[in-house]
Structures are given as structure tokens and as C-alpha cells.
Amino acid sequence: MSQIQWSALIPQLQGRIKLENENGEAIAQVKADNIPLIELSNFSDKTSNKID
């Protein structure tokens, strides 16, 4: 994605899933380091509660 596209997208994001092997440089470059982190284990707990 281009920088302009990232600039438009980032304010719309409510969270990002933390991955084991993230590219920290890329995250910082698009300023995604300010997006709240969602641990994958927490995400699966929340989605299973919504299904029930």
C-alpha cells in the first residue's frame, strides 16, 4: 500500500493483532505502532463469546 493509502486507513483501525514475528520497522514506518494491540489469545476468547 502507498503511504497515502495507509494514512487514510490507519484512523479507521480499532486494533491490530500482535504477531509472533512482526516487522517492527514496517510498523513504525506506517505509524501503526499507535494502534492498540490485540493478543491473538484474547481475540479468540472474545469471538467465541459473541457466537454463544
**Rounded Cα gap, residues 2 and 32, in angstroms:** 14
- pLDDT tens across the length of the chain (52 residues): 888 998 899 889 998 888 889 999 988 888 888 899 888 777 666 555 555 5
Provide the number of structural domains found in the chain: 1
This prediction's pTM: 0.56
Cell of 28: 513504525
Contacting residues for 30 by C-beta, under 8 A, at least 6 apart: 1, 3, 6, 10
Residues in the chain: 52
Place of cell 494514512: 7
Query: How many beta carbons lie within 10 A of that of residue 1, not counting itself?
Result: 9
Residue range(s) defining the domain that contains residue 13: 3-51
Contact 8/30 with Cβ under 8 angstroms?
no
